[in-house]
Amino acid sequence: MGAFTRRAALLMTGAAIGVVGSRTMQSANPVLDGTQKITASGASNTLNDASELSETTIHRHMILTDNPGDMLVSAIRAEMKDAAAAGRPINVGAARHSMGAQAIPRNGHAITYDNGMVDFDSETGIARVHAGARWSQVIAALDPLGRSPKVMQSNHDFGVAATFCVNAHGWPVRLGPMGSTVRSFDIIVPGGDLVTCSREENAELFGLTMGGYGLTGAITSMELETAANTRLEPGFTTMPAEEFGNAFSSALEDEGVTMAYGRLNVERPRFMRDALMVTYRPADDQNDLPAVSGSGVMAKLASRVYRAQLGNERIKRWRWWMESDLGQSLGGGPVTRNSLINEPVATLNDRDPNRTDILHEYFISPAQFPEFLEICRAIIPASYQEFLNVTLRYIDTDPTSVLAYATEPRIAAVMSFSQEKTVRGEADMARMTRALVDGIIGIGGTYYLPYRPHPTPAQFAGAYSRAEEFAAAKRDLDPDLLFRNALWDQYLEPL
């Protein structure tokens, strides 16, 4: 396919639009009281997210379900005009897997993108995608062409612009977050103009929007760098957890390593004492790559074992053995890069109405890894939370985004908890989160913003040193504060 013309595809096709809900009601957020269960009403004038704990009343929900075009831009502008006239906020979301209403405008106009369009330029290796495309659609389009997303999360359900707006990261090394692979994007800014941003054009808006949680406008399309899809072979190394930071940094100096992650043992008697490092290198044989597959037998088995860990230390021990020992012989064969990242979140679903999976993520410099372990060992086992997993990733310095979490090379520790959906569970999670954030800020680290809004505003400001600058620039761009969500309301508005 030849080079494309900027915005041509976007403006050619129509958009199907569905609108649900138009009443404004009192907040449907549950009253927190004693040991009461936290349940969502599921009312049509509310929206929730992956936490199942963020139910928020909205005014209206517009879902865009077809390819983007003139209609898309006009529909978004019309919705912005309506919202502005009524003094209500507006916010765009995709899969709403964020966990603290970062994609929900309270009493406002919610827009969900649910459509994909991927156009690949084989001369430049750049993919042009609609902002609402999910990674599963991007992988499906790129795989037959021998290409792969350069950086995305470890699961494929998320929206591409949403990934840019949280500035997510994944297993590819040595790379910065996903925003580092974005060449340009088109965005409807609060004033209504459709603007193109790159590192050369509207560069300030580029840096505000990357990791800016949808507060600068509605992205409509993006240009992304891609990588070659390759057959990869894993290598496994186990070590005392204290050694992981240095070992990970050294392993990544080998340019042959293109994907990598780590894990820590989570069974209580050896909590965060043992580490596993998995590095992937291109296999010698790159011929006849198989078409991308979904969850393999090992992923399905791993998911069952993952769930069975709940309250069961024996299974946690067994899982560690399976991953760090048995998995090397069973799951240690070659795999394509695309198959590795083509995993749905559903594989992890707990299917338990009384519990919910809550993620945390902390970013620390590799040199501080032993101190990070000390902090976690002192705080997590003493909480009432069920700790299921921690995955370790590498992220290179991000010099671009204003709300950057990797101002130097960092190890990301992605933690997964199973939380009881009760007031008691929520209070315990909040207490534990604040203790972890305090400790991690104390060693120069940061925490990730798409998860539960338990950190205090002071902790937020401590972790994100340019937050005030972001809030001031947002006010210049959007003086009527049209684009808002819970991240703005709770953390940025007070600055």
Ligand X SMILES: Cc1cc2nc3c(=O)[nH]c(=O)nc-3n(C[C@H](O)[C@H](O)[C@H](O)COP(=O)(O)OP(=O)(O)OC[C@H]3O[C@@H](n4cnc5c(N)ncnc54)[C@H](O)[C@@H]3O)c2cc1C
Q: Rule CB under 6 A: which residues touch ligand X?
A: 50, 91-98, 102-103, 113, 131, 153-155, 158-159, 161-163, 165-166, 168-170, 213-214, 218-219, 345, 348, 359, 450, 485
Spatial distance between the Cα atoms of 286 and 282, rounded to a whole number of angstroms: 8
Q: How far is the CB of 33 from ligand X (least distance, A)?
A: 28
The residue to which tokens 């707006």 are assigned: 165
Q: At what angle do helices 423-442 and 369-379 cross, to 10 degrees?
A: 150
Residue 359 token pair? 């993620």
Q: Give the nearer residue to ligand X in terms of CB position, either 114 or 121.
A: 114
Q: How far is the CB of 240 from ligand X (least distance, A)?
A: 25
Q: How far is the CB of 158 from ligand X (least distance, A)?
A: 3
Cis amide bond preceding 128, omega within 30? no
Q: Give the nearer residue to ligand X in terms of CB position, either 341 or 432.
A: 341
Q: How far is the CB of 215 from ligand X (least distance, A)?
A: 7
Q: How far is the CB of 132 from ligand X (least distance, A)?
A: 6
DSSP lists the bridge partners of residue 390 as: 415
Q: Give the nearer residue to ligand X in terms of CB position, either 93 or 207.
A: 93
Residue 135 token pair? 């990674």
Residue 231 token pair? 């057959």
Q: Give the nearer residue to ligand X in terms of CB position, either 289 or 412.
A: 412
What is the DSSP secondary-structure string of 60-84?
EEEEE-S--BHHHHHHHHHHHHHHH
Q: Give the nearer residue to ligand X in terms of CB position, either 168 or 175.
A: 168
CB neighbour list of residue 162: distance below 8 Å, 6 or more residues apart = 93, 94, 95, 98, 103, 214
Spatial distance between the Cα atoms of 6 and 28, rounded to a whole number of angstroms: 43
Spatial distance between the Cα atoms of 263 and 416, rounded to a whole number of angstroms: 12
Q: Starting at the edge strand that comes first in sequence, how are the strands of the sheet with 60-64 ordered? A: 17-20, 60-64, 109-113, 90-93
Q: How far is the CB of 121 from ligand X (least distance, A)?
A: 21
Q: Give the nearer residue to ligand X in terms of CB position, either 152 or 241.
A: 152
Q: How far is the CB of 75 from ligand X (least distance, A)?
A: 13
Q: How far is the CB of 195 from ligand X (least distance, A)?
A: 13
Rg, Å, the chain Cα set:
22
Q: How far is the CB of 49 from ligand X (least distance, A)?
A: 6
Which residue is nearest to ligand X, using beta carbons?
A: 214
Q: How far is the CB of 113 from ligand X (least distance, A)?
A: 5
Please give the helix or strand (H or E) that residue 92 lies within, else none. Answer: strand 90-93
Q: Give the nearer residue to ligand X in terms of CB position, either 277 or 414.
A: 414
Pairing of strands 147-149, 109-113: unpaired
Q: Give the nearer residue to ligand X in terms of CB position, either 152 or 437.
A: 152
Q: How far is the CB of 440 from ligand X (least distance, A)?
A: 17
Q: Give the nearer residue to ligand X in terms of CB position, either 277 or 403.
A: 403
Q: Give the nearer residue to ligand X in terms of CB position, either 50 or 404.
A: 50
Residue 261 token pair? 């992650």
Coil, helix or strand for 152? coil
Residue 148 token pair? 């792969």
Q: Give the nearer residue to ligand X in terms of CB position, either 289 or 416.
A: 416
CB neighbour list of residue 489: distance below 8 Å, 6 or more residues apart = 106
Determine the number of helices (DSSP H) and then strands (DSSP E) in the chain: 15, 20
Query: Is the distance from CB of 486 to CB of 101 less than 8 angstroms?
Result: yes
Query: Is the distance from CB of 419 to CB of 426 less than 8 angstroms?
Result: yes
Query: Residue 343: how many CA atoms within 13 Å on its side-chain side?
Result: 22
Q: Give the nearer residue to ligand X in terms of CB position, either 289 or 342.
A: 342
Q: How far is the CB of 154 from ligand X (least distance, A)?
A: 4
> Which of left, alpha, beta for 289 (phi over 0: left; psi -120 to 50: alpha)?
beta
